[in-house]
Amino acid sequence: MPIASHHLSSPLRIAAVLFLALGLLAGCSTTGTLNTVQTPQQNLSPKHAAIVVDGSTGKVLYEQNSEAARYPASLTKMMTLYMLFEALESGKLSKSSQIPVSAFAASRPPSKIGLKPGQSIDVESAISALCTKSANDVAVAVAEALGGTEERFASMMTAKARQLGMRGTFFNNASGLPDEAQRSTARDMALLGIALRKRFPQHYGYFSATSFAFNGKTIRGHNDLLGRVSGVDGIKTGYIRASGFNIVTSVNSGGRKLVVVVMGGDTARSRNAEVEQLIDRYLPQASLGVATQ
């Protein structure tokens, strides 16, 4: 039976206090200290995950919950774009090809550009709408054009994810709108970000745009890091209530490259602040002048 401390004699009480103090000091081990130093920002949100990858070598420089299942939200559109870029490369579509808009696609909730059933959108405008506006109506129109149905296209997306080594990802739609079955990880999103730059360098500039023109209007994007943080050249933000605020960020500065993923931010501001901290800390550790393999 445990003995309450007030029943201990004075010498025993002193010994017990010293024992407790030593135990607390032992808890502050070298490993614990290193982990504290390694973590730029403590984030206790159960949705949080993060990873920093050297964009040239693929080496992981920092990670936290990087293989835990998370809702990708509109980061999903990175894979929708990957599939669309493949269709361009194969000749199935050209940038001037018209993508028809079904009633189902037009009915998707915002973010959207307001396409009507029976309208069409050219491929180049569709790419800009996905990269910059994160348009859900366009994502579904692309899915139907390439897969026949969004459901079939989502299966194609998941198959492509496996080819790219994204072992923790399952797509059930092309937009990232709420779906209990749609899951990914910070690690997988980093892999996809690296794959997009490596596989489609000629299209990667779309991710750097902060706005685009469509039907005589200027449509502005959501990525506040673009043009504000030196070296940031893309790539995609995402948010649904279940996911929190997500982002995949590509950095290319002074010959060093990073891909930074933060998922589950409480606000866009706190998510962006964490990304900036990670860039400041790990960009100097990225390889210099090493060609992407």
The residues that are catalytic are 74, 77, 134
**Rounded to the nearest 5 degrees, what angle is found at the Cα of 23, between the Cα atoms of 18 and 25?**
95
Residues 6+ apart with CB under 8 A from 199: 82, 85
Do residues 63 and 236 touch, judged by C-beta distance below 8 A? no
Number of H helices, E strands in the chain: 9, 9
Q: In the chain, which residue ranges form alpha helices assigned H by DSSP? A: 10-27, 30-38, 77-90, 103-106, 123-128, 136-147, 150-163, 186-199, 268-282
Give the whole-angstrom CA distance, residue 176 versus residue 240.
Answer: 8
How far, in Å, CA of 290 to CA of 288, rounded?
6
Cα–Cα dist 285/250, whole Å = 15
Instruction: Collect all residues with Cβ–Cβ distance below 8 Å to 71 and sequence separation of at least 6.
Output: 176, 178, 182, 183, 184, 240, 242, 243
- List the structure tokens of 55: 């964009």
